[in-house]
Amino acid sequence: MNHLEQAPLGKNSDNPNKYSPEVLFPISRIPNRLSLGIEPNAQPFFGVDIWNAYELSWLNSKGKPQIGIATFIVPANSPNIIESKSWKLYLNSINNHSFNSEEDLIKTLTSDLSAVAGATVSVKITKPEDVTNAGMKELEGKLLDRLDVEINPSEKPNADLLSADFSQPPVNECLVTHLLRSNCPVTGQPDWASVQINYVGPEINEEGLLRYLIAFREHQEFHEHCVEKIFVDIKKICRPTKLSVYARYTRRGGIDINPFRTDYNASWPDNTRHSRQ
């Protein structure tokens, strides 16, 4: 079952008071990828979706509440994403459930999430103090937000906004913006993100790229789908030989989602929080 109208997102939902893995709701990646011209099992990229859950709590064998911050890594080649509200409800359902050890909790989370995603989801639990000690770090790269561009509020994220200079030698460049906003396709609520684009190839026109990314402001799509559209459009129009797109979205419901897509052996995201997360 993966019809979006059947998902708990945008509906009143009772908070589970007992362990309830059945609330997890899969959404197939295929329809969105088909709309981008990507056939099943022929993705032009690989990567992961990094989920961070800051409100994780469970009971130990004595009934004492435990807390931690969970990181979940969902491979981009999994058949399904997991709808975020159902994920939140699932995590809430273990609040009053006892586990003999943290290892048993991780095994349970791994098994349940992997079954719904259709591929192995890795799980790591970190103590809050360890996350605090790690600090925060902004995405590195040349900031597109410095550009004084005129924006058409009705503009859509059309690939025709993109261009590159094919008359000059290729460049190796990293570009960043903090101005991405997209919207939940069910609730219409805004999702905010910073985006990092690494590429090797013809130099991308920065003003056009920034206008393209800002044009997502009224675009309704899930985080993962937005990043894949950005990747596919840049690859098609600008034709880089190497490309990676990484977005760090701000937290909603105690969870942030950070998709990463690449077509080469790019540096793996280090999952360090930035200031808005």
Q: pLDDT (tens digit, 9 = 90+) per residue, 234-276?
A: 999 999 999 999 999 999 989 999 999 999 998 889 899 999 9
Q: Which of 191, 233, 256, 263 is an active site residue?
A: 191
* pLDDT for the residue 127: 93
Dist. CA 175–CA 141, nearest whole Å: 5
* pLDDT for the residue 1: 46
* pLDDT for the residue 267: 83
Rg (CA), the chain: 19
Identical topology for domains 4-134 and 142-262: yes
**Facing residues of 26 across strands?**
82
* pLDDT for the residue 21: 97
User: Cα 224–241–214 angle (5° rounding)?
Assistant: 40
Evaluate whether 229 touches 36 at the Cβ level (below 8 Å).
yes
Domain boundaries, the chain: 4-134, 142-262
pTM for this entry: 0.93
* pLDDT for the residue 6: 57
Q: What is the DSSP string of 180-234?
A: EEEE-TTT--EEEEEEEEEEEESEEPHHHHHHHHHGGGG-B--HHHHHHHHHHHH
Spans of the chain, pLDDT less than 50: 1
Evaluate whether 96 touches 66 at the Cβ level (below 8 Å).
no
Annotated catalytic residue 184:
yes
Structure tokens at 145: 């937000």
Q: Which of 184, 226, 233, 263 is an active site residue?
A: 184
**Could you tell me the fold of the domain covering 142-262?**
GTP Cyclohydrolase I, domain 2 (3.30.1130)
* pLDDT for the residue 175: 98
* pLDDT for the residue 244: 98
Dist. CA 114–CA 72, nearest whole Å: 10
**Could you tell me the fold of the domain covering 4-134?**
GTP Cyclohydrolase I, domain 2 (3.30.1130)
